[in-house]
Chains A and B, each alone.
With several copies, the nearest count.
Chain A
């Protein structure tokens, strides 16, 4: 089971802030996971937008990395507080 976190507007689009999913065996990179989740939640490519950053186990990843062994994937729209 992989924990997926949807932040900000992504949480509104998926209508959930987090979920635990059984990822099919052939989904083993970030990009593949995004496509799969886009379809699963009818997100119209929202996760694939270049502004969305990804964290694997709370570390930012900049390329299409493997998700093998990952516990938690976070999808982050543009941030900003204050």
Chain B
């Protein structure tokens, strides 16, 4: 399931529902990214997507994951709009019979989301705002899968 939405979500609840729906998988890996709740300089994020283009791109990435690893299910939830400190940006969960497959597919999908998925991300702090681009490390991580 792929959800790109400007509504906050409850990560634990979504993960439980995902597990409920994929009973035959013994291994579930997940990753949650969120806006850090930093001490002084409270930060918020603003995320943009390109409608169906964004979802189609994520869909294609999940197809590559299914082709590469023996997965029973994938869940990707990605927020858009304005996000405040402490809010979840992204949840990726992968279910498999095999621990390594679940871990690697989750890792792969996060690398896709960080570097290739059609999102734009602005960091807003008290001192101003900047559009964030992937770091060199993100691109390097993503190359591990090609």
Residues of A within 8 A of B (CB): 5, 7-9, 11-12, 17, 55, 58, 74, 76-82
Contact = CB atoms under 8 A, between A and B. Distances in A.
Interface string B106-146: 00001001111111111000000001111000100000000
B117 A74 contact: no
Interface of B: 33, 47-50, 52-53, 78, 89-90, 99, 110, 113-122, 131-134, 138
Given A8-B120, A8-B131, A80 B50 contact: no
Given A74-B50, A76-B118, A82 B33 contact: yes
Given A8-B48, A55-B53, A81 B138 contact: no
B53 A81 contact: no
B89 A82 contact: yes
Looking at B33, B50, B110, B121, which has the most chain A CB atoms within 10 Å of its CB?
B50
